[in-house]
Amino acid sequence: MADTEKTATLTIGDASWDLPVLSPTEGPDVIDIGKLYGQAGVFTYDPGFTSTAACESKITYIDGAEGILLHRGYPIGELAEKSHYLEVCYLLLYGELPSAAQLEKFEHTITHHTMLHEQMANFFRGFRRDAHPMAVMVGVVGAMSAFYHDSTDINDPRQREIASHRLIAKMPTIAAWAYKYTIGQPFVYPRNDLDYAANFLRMCFSVPAEDYVPDPILSRAMDRIFTLHADHEQNASTSTVRLASSSGANPFACIAAGIACLWGPAHGGANQACLEMLREIGTVDRIPEFIARAKDKNDPFRLMGFGHRVYKNFDPRATVMKQSADEVLELLGVDNNPTLQVAKELEKQALADPYFAEKKLFPNVDFYSGIILEAMGFPTSMFTPIFALSRTVGWISQWTEQLSDPALKIGRPRQLYTGETLRHYVEVEDR
Ligand code: SDX
């Protein structure tokens, strides 16, 4: 637990209570209200948790004002440039960058767990062909608890580690098979001679009639997208995983819950919604119309890919993603992509508009990722499954951290009740 030296005093009427203030290694102090209800008989109220720290964590730190994102202390820009996804997975899971031997062993383990239990292929076939790949992923990941019984005991650290490795290793296969199933193509099995990102691209785009050999630049861009989405502190889907885990649910059920939450357009679904919005805008001359709608209080429309609960300056991931977008589109000879032109002009006009500056709305991680994925040949329905694939290591790292906390209790928030007070049943003939 972070150290406690200071206190905060809460006064209600003529009564006061001192509450411990915990000091972090980075970020704001927190007031420990764990005993508040017992002492003062009051709850705190914070729907959306805009001012609430739900846990202590050592994994990821974000400074929204400064646009800082650290994974175990390392800046996301350095990791995106110098590291690669599986090394970042090791860092998030174990807390330190691996030695060469540790990395080789970890990569060998992940590589040799990428296949699914063959009977799971039947599970995919139970879905309608037009199912959204996220619906398939939620179902298939939840069903892993019916296939991998030897890694569901959350009280056994070794089983927790095996489940973690299985999930990281198998998510690309699950996402690729969800895609192949919805386009009516046969499943492509993973290959151990390919790296993580290249394997995923090949499982998505290879067909029996013609193998797919990923271009190294595309594999690198794919790996970078995985890295940029790996973890992000206590976002909605991670908080969902933590809450599910607090009841003792098995790892596959917890990650399926995280996938379900990520699907929403305000969260991981924003990359799909952003590209669909850019397509709806269509041409640069229609941008002012959409910016006006985003500013109109009577119009529920929002600029997808803009804004963030924490980042009120810029999303450091978007900066890196924008560089990748330029590289990929130049390689593919689509740097005059009309969607990219609209994206770049929209960003320019929005950032010049006082409304967005006042509301501190900047492009987030989802703004450019969709453009890269579309250029690679993915349909928009695959954008969030790729986000889910990437975020699995973050969910699993936070899940592991929480289960290792001896003070873990089931999460059970209270409420501000404003419903009816006690009243008694009235017979229907008397109503
Ligand atoms: C992700 O939490 C994470 O870390 C998430 C994530 C991760 O890695 O896990 O970073 C991934 O989810 C990124 C965010 C993707 N979502 C979108 O791009 C959807 C569009 N963005 C918005 O829905 C919104 O910005 C949120 C949900 C992201 C954040 O909303 P907040 O912090 O709850 O802010 P808010 O809704 O209270 O908005 C504050 C003001 C409001 O105006 P007022 O009521 O104060 O007048 O800003 C306005 C909003 O109307 N606003 C926008 C806007 N986002 C907020 N106006 C126009 N367009 C937008 N996109």
Ligand 1, closest atom to CA 359? Answer: 47
Compute the distance between CA of residue 381 and CA of residue 132 in angstroms, rounded to an integer. Answer: 7
Tell the residue nearest (CA) to atom 31 of ligand 1: 309
pLDDT in tens, 118-139: 999 998 999 999 999 999 999 9
Q: Any alpha helices (H) in 17-98, and if so which ranges?
A: 36-40, 76-82, 85-94
Our mutation pick for probing the ligand 1 site, out of 52, 317, 364, 395, counting the most ligand atoms within 8 A of Cβ, is 364
Concatenated DSSP letters for 133-199? HHHHHHHHHHHGGGT-GGG--TT-HHHHHHHHHHHHHHHHHHHHHHHHHHTT-------TTS-HHHH
In the residue annotation, 165 being an active-site residue is answered as no
Give me the pLDDT at residue 294, please: 94
- 84, 232, 308, 315: the active-site residue: 308
Residue 278 Cα to ligand 1 middle (Å)? 17
Give me the pLDDT at residue 1, please: 54
State pTM to two decimals.
0.93
Give the residue ranges of the chain where pLDDT is below 50: none
Contact by Cβ (8 Å): 213, 117: no
The DSSP 8-state label assigned to residue 336 in this structure reads T
Report the candidate in 197, 113, 246, 240 with the shortest Cα–Cα distance to residue 376.
197
Q: Domain boundaries in the chain?
A: 7-53, 62-403
What is the fold, at CATH topology level, of the domain defined by 7-53? Rubrerythrin, domain 2 (2.20.28)
Give me the pLDDT at residue 312, please: 87
In the residue annotation, 366 being an active-site residue is answered as yes
Q: Hey, what's the torsion of the CAs at 267, 268, 272, 274, to 10 degrees?
A: 40
Residue 388 Cα to ligand 1 middle (Å)? 19
Residue 266 Cα to ligand 1 middle (Å)? 7
Percentage above 70 pLDDT, the chain: 99
Strands 60-63 and 30-31 turn out to be unpaired
Contact by Cβ (8 Å): 255, 241: yes
Query: Computed over its alpha carbons, how large is the radius of gyration of the chain?
Result: 23
Tell the residue nearest (CA) to atom 5 of ligand 1: 235
Residue 221 Cα to ligand 1 middle (Å)? 26
Tell the residue nearest (CA) to atom 20 of ligand 1: 304
Residue 364 Cα to ligand 1 middle (Å)? 9
Compute the distance between CA of residue 401 and CA of residue 395 in angstroms, rounded to an integer. Answer: 10
Give me the pLDDT at residue 338, please: 84
Ligand 1 surroundings by CB, under 6 angstroms:
232, 235, 266-268, 270, 294, 302-310, 359, 361, 364-366
Q: How far is CA 140 from the centre of its chain?
A: 18
Tell the residue nearest (CA) to atom 34 of ligand 1: 309
Give me the pLDDT at residue 178, please: 97
Q: How far is CA 279 from the centre of its chain?
A: 24
Q: How many CA atoms lie within 13 A of 379 on its CB side?
A: 13
Give me the pLDDT at residue 90, please: 98
The DSSP 8-state label assigned to residue 429 in this structure reads G
Domain 62-403 -> CATH class: mainly alpha
Contact by Cβ (8 Å): 391, 226: no
Compute the distance between CA of residue 394 and CA of residue 229 in angstroms, rounded to an integer. Answer: 9
pLDDT in tens, 192-246: 999 999 999 999 999 999 999 999 999 999 999 999 999 999 999 999 999 999 9
Give me the pLDDT at residue 297, please: 93
Contact by Cβ (8 Å): 182, 129: yes
Q: Centre a 10 Å sphere on the Cβ of residue 29 and count the other Cβ atoms it contains.
A: 14
